[in-house]
Amino acid sequence: MDEQFAMRLKITFEKDATIMRVVDVPKDKNLEFLHLTILACLELSPGEITSFWLSDNNWGRTVEIPLIQDSTVPDDGKEHEKMAVMEDVPIAEAINEHMPKLIYEYDPMIQWSFKIEFIEYRAESDQFEYPILVQENGKAPDHNLAKIAFINQLEDNTSDDEDIFSSGGGFLDHDDDYDFYDED
């Protein structure tokens, strides 16, 4: 009988390293499973745009692996290769002892990123159902409050003086140059 292994991963909120989770996930599951694990252990709202990024040892982003396929394809007449999505990529191919760092980007509007580090392989136990939350430090921020704060900040940074549409501007006025309604 083949022994099954789980991967122990450390997940840290990039903006506040005191917010950290350690989880065990089966190594044969895909990145979508890890995505759902992260949502659950950090109590994040589902339905946001998310991606994993393969990372070098300095946390540089190299290859994006989104939750869903981008439906926009350039209309340049060339054939384009489909991007791998989370359900297609096994966790162990994205992060392991040779590639120990991975980045999880959650809701690009508020720009939350989580650093994921490979810790070790562990023998899976029949006594537990995976994923397992092994360690929890810090309270995860409230995503909805962060989104509201972001929107309020955008509104605060826009004054009437900066509103290009308040004076009828924003678009060039070509009414004098073109007669769109021919009056014969």
Kindly state whether residue 166 falls inside one of the protein's structural domains: no
Q: What is the CATH number of the domain that holds 128?
A: 3.10.290.30
Say what the pTM is: 0.76
67, 117 Cβ separation under 8 angstroms: no
Kindly state whether residue 168 falls inside one of the protein's structural domains: no
> What is the C-alpha separation between 39 and 143, in angstroms, rounded?
11
Q: How many CA atoms lie within 13 A of 63 on its CB side?
A: 12
Closest CA to 116 of 3, 13, 19: 13
Q: List phi, psi (to 5°) of 146.
A: -65, -40
Kindly state whether residue 171 falls inside one of the protein's structural domains: no
Residue by residue, pLDDT tens for the chain (184 residues) are 457 899 999 999 999 999 999 999 999 999 999 999 999 999 998 888 999 999 999 999 999 999 988 666 555 656 556 789 999 999 999 999 999 999 999 988 888 999 999 999 999 988 989 999 999 999 988 777 776 777 777 777 655 444 433 444 333 444 444 444 445 4
